[in-house]
Amino acid sequence: MELKYTRKNVYKEADGAELEKIYDFAEGYKHFLDNSKTERDASVEAEKLALENGFKPFSFSEKLKAGDKRYFLNRGKNIFLIKVGKEDVAKDGIRIMVAHVDSPRLDLKPNPMYEEAGLCYLKTHYYGGIKKYQWTAIPLALHGVVMLPGGKKKDVCIGEEDSDPIFYITDLLPHLASEQSQKTLGKAIEGENLNAVVGGLPAVDCGEDEKETVKAAVLNLLNKKYGITEVDFQCSELCFVPAGRARDVGFDGALISAYGHDDKVCAYPEMRAIFDCDSPHTVVAVFADKEEVGSDGTTGMQSKVISDVIETIAHSFNANPIEVRYNSKCISADVTAGYDPTYASVFEKRNSTYISCGAAVSKYTGARGKSSTNDTSAEYMGFIRDVFDKDGVIWQTGELGAIDLGGGGTVAKYIGNLGIDTVDVGVPVLSMHAPYELISKADVYALYKACLAFCK
Ligand code: MN
Ligand code: MN
């Protein structure tokens, strides 16, 4: 019997075959990430993979039976994957795995376009918690949808192919930045300065409005390609995200840098686990929208949709939905702040999670005196520990940084509020919410094994 607890490193514990599995799994993850920059992209990609894995569209009026595999795409921005098991759903409940698929980014304002000094710009309003200075002078891609009058929808994705142009937000040259460099990080780049350059070629024959010839030319291009006019921006959801693909990091390729690990790095292993598991339980995976802005609205985790899905499953078996909820169990998977030795002072090293040390379990999140947290019970932590240990899952536990230096929350509390035992499990990330975040391949794979063990 081990009397002392020692954190394990996934890579150190892995033999050659396991290492190969870890690196293989990462290839599938990177592919998913590259196709999942926004919650819309991620939901559509998940739908595609669900169809390939034998899932069929879900209906709230259908009677499900054991063996059924369904998916519910909620408004194109939030998806539920449902796999019905043999166990009695009233007594056994549902094994629920949750993650979010929205990531911090720059949304377009409703009236975004203007021209000044020979350049055409789009004004943005940032979404989620960003450090604004990180979004200047990097390649950006434009993703989203525009509604045309009459209900026709245009999908937009520009900046991801090598042949595509990218978009660009300027920063001040160091030569003229003596005033700017005296400002605090949060003030050096203001929200109203996050204006992306989208054109520089004046129209030759611009007709009535000779003052804005570049803007006229850009609108002309957009109209030719998408059929949109300037007013259509008011009925759109367009955003700038970092352009480019997920890349291996390090001479050994042990890590991955990419946009949007938070929280696709948890959604992907959950999705693979529901596809791959052969479970007697009914399993539901939920990929939510709006986590970065409070989880409100029709596609956020505070929406009633999850209760409606649970009720539909319960009614299929003439079970009481309340009983089903109370007997359900949930893993709420979201990233946590991995210990970063470069910024050691904001961590408490005995209670931090570490890169490559496995699935990161957080009993509680929150700020100050654990404010606004789903504080998992000792009983449920004990259950999770047994589930993971039985299947050899490498996991660790820690807090998001040292006390009173900040803090953060996840969607766990919204599931907990439904009367469902829920624990935060995720992946440690470095540079969270930066345009390119950093994670370890070992931890994504460890989370996949954790989800498989949970579904079992
Ligand atoms: Mn997150
Ligand atoms: Mn986040």
Instruction: Identify the nearest ligand to the CA of 128 by its number.
Output: 2
Decide if 122 contacts 196 (C-beta within 8 A).
yes
Residue 324 pLDDT greater than 70, yes or no: yes
pLDDT at 207: 59
User: What digits encode the pLDDT tens for the residues 97-107?
Assistant: 999 999 999 99
Phi and psi of 414, rounded to 5°?
-70, -30
* Ligand 1: centre distance to CA 159 (Å): 25
Q: Say how far apart CA 239 and CA 142 lie, in whole Å.
A: 6
* Ligand 1: centre distance to CA 247 (Å): 20
Average pLDDT (292-303) is: 98
Decide if 400 contacts 428 (C-beta within 8 A).
no
Report CA Rg, the chain: 23
Q: Say how far apart CA 88 and CA 97 lie, in whole Å.
A: 19
Report the 10 Å Cβ neighbour count for 225: 11
pTM value? 0.97
CA 417 to chain centre: 22
User: What digits encode the pLDDT tens for the residues 391-436?
Assistant: 999 999 999 999 999 988 899 999 999 999 999 999 999 999 999 9
* Ligand 2: centre distance to CA 387 (Å): 27
Strand partners, 447: none
Confidence at 299, pLDDT banded by 50, 70, 90: very high
pLDDT at 77: 98
pLDDT at 254: 98
Element containing residue 415 per DSSP (H, E):
helix 412-416
* Ligand 1: centre distance to CA 76 (Å): 19
Q: What angle do CA 61, 66, 72 make, to 5 degrees?
A: 45
pLDDT at 205: 66
pLDDT at 208: 57
Element containing residue 309 per DSSP (H, E):
helix 305-316
Full 3-state SS string of 351-372: HCECCCCCEEEECCCEECCCEC
Q: Say how far apart CA 442 and CA 252 lie, in whole Å.
A: 13
| Complete DSSP assignment for 384-452 | HHHHHHHTT--EEE--SSSTTS-EE--THHHHHTTT-EEEEEE-EEBSTTSSSEEEEHHHHHHHHHHHH
User: What's the N-to-C CA distance of the chain in angstroms?
Assistant: 26
Element containing residue 445 per DSSP (H, E):
helix 441-455
pLDDT at 222: 97
* Ligand 1: centre distance to CA 361 (Å): 14
In sequence order, which residues have a C-beta less than 8 Å from that of residue 250 and are 6 or more positions away? none
User: What digits encode the pLDDT tens for the residues 66-119?
Assistant: 999 999 999 999 999 999 999 999 999 999 999 999 999 999 999 999 999 999
321 token code pair: 């939905």
pLDDT at 204: 77
8 token code pair: 């394990």
Confidence at 321, pLDDT banded by 50, 70, 90: very high
Average pLDDT in the chain: 97
Residue 443 pLDDT greater than 80, yes or no: yes
In sequence order, which residues have a C-beta less than 8 Å from that of residue 330 and are 6 or more positions away? 95, 96, 97, 98, 412, 415, 416, 420, 421, 422, 423
* Ligand 1: centre distance to CA 100 (Å): 7
pLDDT at 316: 98
Q: Say how far apart CA 440 and CA 430 lie, in whole Å.
A: 9
Q: Residue 80: helix, strand or coil by DSSP? A: strand
Which residues hold their Cβ within 5 A of ligand 2, which is an ion? Answer: 262
User: What digits encode the pLDDT tens for the residues 200-250?
Assistant: 999 876 555 578 999 999 999 999 999 999 999 999 999 999 999 999 999
294 token code pair: 């409070």
pLDDT at 310: 98
Q: Say how far apart CA 76 and CA 190 lie, in whole Å.
A: 32
Residue 49 pLDDT greater than 70, yes or no: yes
User: What digits encode the pLDDT tens for the residues 3-39?
Assistant: 999 999 999 999 999 999 999 999 999 999 999 999 9
Q: Residue 156: helix, strand or coil by DSSP? A: strand
* Ligand 2: centre distance to CA 359 (Å): 17
* Ligand 2: centre distance to CA 261 (Å): 9
Taking the C-alpha atoms of 381, 383, 385 and 387 in order, what is their torsion angle to the nearest 10 degrees? -150
Maximum alpha-carbon separation in the chain: 84
